Amino acid sequence: MKFATISAVGLALSICGAALAGPAAAQRASAPKIAGQRNARDWPAYGGTPENNRFSPLKQIDRKNVQRLLVAWTFDTEESGGLQSSPIIVDGVLYGLTPTEKVFALNAATGSLLWKFDSGIKGTQPDRGLAYWSDSKDKRLLVAVMNFVYALDAATGNPISSFGKEGRIDLREDLGRDPAAQSIYVTSPPVIYKDLMIVGGRESETLPASPGDVRAYDVRSGKLRWSFHTIPHPGEFGYDTWPKDAWKTSGAANNWAGMTVDADRGIVYVPTGSAAFDFYGADRLGDDLFANCLIALNAETGERLWYFQGVKHDLWDRDFPAPPVLLTVERNGKKVDAVAQTTKQGFVFLFDRANGKPLFPIECRNYPPSNLPGEVAAQQQCLPVKPEPFARQALTETLLSERTPEVHQWALEKFRSLRSEGQFVPFSVGKDTVIFPGFDGGAEWGGAAADPETGILYVNANEMAWTGALAENTSENTPKGLYMNQCAICHGEKMAGSPPAIPSLVGVSERMSAADVASTIKNGKGRMPGFANLENDSDQWYGLLSYVMSGGAKNGSTNENGGQEMAGSEPAPPAMKYHFTGYHRFLDLDGYPAVAPPQYRRICLEDSAGRVSRPGGEGPKEYGHGKLRRPRGDGRWIGVYQRDQLRQEVSRVRQVDRRAVVGDDASVFGKYDSGHI
């Protein structure tokens, strides 16, 4: 069994820019100070800085010596599973999370364990980081474990009893609904503004779902200071973009991707997700503010300052995938403090961060209507004219795999059975629609990075095609109906899933016990949220469990405890007329992408007119693939890296042209010279 580990690399006896020889206190004492950070060696926030630019000014490791990096230390969490967590470093101490959401503190120079906090709750959800706050007397961590947020003493790891109830708050509360029936987890860490912790959450993508309120809590007491309703209540702006009283029954429109704070202006920038259910919205007709928005809020009060809705009445799960980046760009000869938001479609929106004015024109055009009864797709959607998209926007026959003649012929025949008409084509029944770039981007949840000295924006992205369709739900309140309503959106009608991201449930009883499957249904795991709305030991509960464990064979018999596996003795979950048939990558029969490479890459850059060379080598020939060039006087350069190239050159590429660090070891690095647009 492989255990999740944290590793550090260094040059000879160096790590994180600090000499390993000598006590940590001496290392901290000699640390140079830079603006906006306690210490040049600190990485005090998710994304590195409040601007979320993932930039470090350290210069000890550069292109001349990066190939000599060796592992300096490794910390074994002694847990299996993957790590999505991005540790933070403050005053020579690294704080991180294990796969089951235990919190630990390490000496960042040596990797030695200082303390570990175990809440007693086994975390099953992605938990990508934690937040740090301090004043002259107090230093504490704000860290989520499932639906709870704990305040821990940074020195000892002990819960601070004066925060909330015995050191924690429960995010299922303060939502205006029954807390016991809510399903909310913190995927991305809170952000800090003065003495406030501002937090979002991850909610179900099917109904019922919790509302996606953005909330601010006092970091000392844990008391709620303000809430912003992303599904507006009566009398609030945007209420008329939903059906009457939708705030009582609709859900999501949540901030799962994380936020970014402009501490000088006192503004928090909040990207929000789509409303539930993701792919059919007859119960939420209208534009659905503030789903799929970038919202600028007064960080002190929660008052809305400005907003931009990236997708109206989303039917494609095209929410913003990552927190925005704050940077300064040059526009019309003037420096502009901007906010850059990447998208799953492969675009970058740039706004004046003070007033929300777009730095480039945004063009709105008509798209096809839905052909499903009851559904009314938004007539128009809006995309930026510039920068040009960093991913291909429509899958055509010319972009299909040519790995072998046989594969190409298979891909061609398969493609001709699909509907591929570009962006914002509503799903239909009976025929799969191509989503390209796929459900995972375009831009990824790892986010972009920026060099504050040059204004260059770095982006990772995918160009993988996915397909999906809708199917009509049965009105029966049976285990099968419950599965189709709640589970088929990810695992598919035939339980095949889309491995490895979405596991298959075929033969699950041979791999997992009924108790483990029941725990997963209740608490969720990985990308799957929990279903708190299903009461334990109810007929619905046993019915769904038995249906899954039997591979769909049992749909209404009696369980071993005598309880009926029919779901009919309790009220059915909110009825959705259609369900999603499942997420399907467009793969050939050998499991390779049916799209011509690169499926994972990044392009680089724009010139002073905001132009981007087209993906797939369609740009000027002199740019070339797999090469990075220095920016010219007009700000242009480009480099395209495919995954196989990057595996060989990742260390060198990470150091090319300054020291901006991209969040994960994704497939490709791309650059946008936003300092010259």
Q: In terms of DSSP H, where are the helices of 448-564?
A: 479-486, 488-491, 514-523, 539-549
Three-class HEC string of 416-457: CCCECCCCCCCCCECCCEEECCECCECECCCCCEEECCCCEE
pLDDT of 40? 75
Longest dimension (CA), the chain: 77
pLDDT of residue 425: 97
Whether the bond into 442 is cis, omega within 30 of 0: yes
List residues bridging with 338 in a β-sheet. 327, 352
Q: Is the pTM of this model over 0.85?
A: no
- Closest by alpha carbon to 411, among 586, 597, 600? 586
CA–CA dist 517, 300 (Å, integer): 43
Provide the pLDDT for residue 10: 57
N residues, the chain: 677
Residues 6+ positions from 64 with CB-CB distance below 8 Å: none
The closest alpha carbon to 283, from 255, 248, 318, belongs to 248
| 200/29 Cα distance (integer angstroms) | 36
CA distance 17 to 41: 6
- Does residue 618 contact residue 628 with C-beta atoms inside 8 Å? no
Angle at alpha carbon of residue 467, lines to 645 and 501, rounded to 5°: 60
pLDDT at 6: 73
Tokens of 190: 């809170």
Among 408, 461, 410, residue whose Cα is nearest residue 436 = 461
8-state DSSP, 116: E
Give me the residue label for tokens 């938004």.
Answer: 378
Contact predicate 310/317, CB 8 Å: no
C-alpha span between 443 and 360 (Å, rounded): 19
Q: Provide the pLDDT for residue 256.
A: 96
Residues with Cβ within 8 Å of residue 458, at least 6 apart in sequence: 448, 449, 450, 451, 602, 660, 662, 669, 670, 671, 672
**Domains in the chain, ordered, with CATH?**
171-320 (2.40.10.480), 474-575 (1.10.760.10)
Given this model, what pLDDT does residue 642 score? 40
Q: From CA 379, how far away is CA 383, in angstroms rounded?
A: 14
**Taking the CB of residue 116, how many other CB atoms lie within 10 A of it?**
13
Please, are residues 492 and 634 in contact by the beta-carbon 8 Å criterion? no
**pLDDT, position 575:** 65
Residue owning tokens 């279903």: 531
The Cα–Cα gap between 154 and 158 comes to 8
The token pair at 581 is: 């048939």
Q: At residue 55, what is the residue type?
A: F
Q: Walk along the chain (677 residues) in steps of 10 and give the mean pLDDT of each run.
A: 68 30 32 46 93 92 92 93 90 96 97 97 92 95 97 98 98 95 94 98 90 98 98 98 96 97 98 96 97 98 98 97 94 93 95 97 97 96 93 95 96 97 96 95 90 86 92 79 80 83 85 84 77 68 83 63 44 72 92 85 45 39 30 31 37 34 33 33
CB 425 within 8 A of CB 419: yes
Distance, CA of 628 to CA of 641 (rounded, Å): 9
In this predicted structure, what is the pLDDT of residue 236? Answer: 98
**Alpha-carbon gap, residue 555 to 480, rounded angstroms:** 6
Q: How far apart are CA 115 and CA 8, in angstroms?
A: 18
